Amino acid sequence: MNQPFEYIRVFSDDAGESHIETATIPLQSEQFAPPAPPLDVSAMSQADGWNLLRFAADWVGGWHCTASRQWMFILAGQATVRASDGSQCDLKPGSICLLEDTRGKGHLTTIIGGDEVLIAAVQIPDE
């Protein structure tokens, strides 16, 4: 296995323009929970806290920056995220998104598909 894990990253550049890219986290085979067989595991990272977010089926966020650097784990429903540079991505259950656009023009989040969205958000320290 040992293939890197892909996720979506939303970030802003020095001019405040937001962008979306696909990024990866390296994984390494480890004895994570002996005596179970080895798993592919990422390096441990710090977290400041977490919460659950539920978005109504017709929720549109308007242009906004993320309140803090945070991982978004999509548990149910679907959303589209658009960056100020015009790029966009669709998030569905199983998608993971790292929001880092804490300043600048921000991003636009729109719930799609007619169902509410449930997200586990994990706030992380600034780099």
- pLDDT digit string, tens, across residues 40-53: 999 999 999 999 99
Asked whether 41 and 49 are in contact (CB, 8 A), the reply is no
Torsion of CA 51, 57, 58, 61, to 10 degrees: 20
Which domain CATH number covers 85?
Answer: 2.60.120.10
Closest Cα to residue 126, out of 74, 73, 67, 44?
Answer: 67
Q: What is the pLDDT of residue 1?
A: 63
Question: What residues make up the domain containing 35?
Answer: 5-123
pLDDT tens profile 53-69: 999 999 999 999 999 99
Are the CB atoms for 47 and 73 separated by under 8 Å?
no
pTM: 0.93
Decide: 107 and 64 in contact? Cβ < 8 Å: yes
Evaluate whether 80 touches 110 at the Cβ level (below 8 Å): yes
Question: What is the total count of domains within the chain?
Answer: 1
DSSP state of 44: P
- On average, the pLDDT of the chain sits at 96
pLDDT at 2 over 90: no
76: tokens are 């149910």
14: left (phi over 0), alpha (psi -120 to 50) or beta: alpha
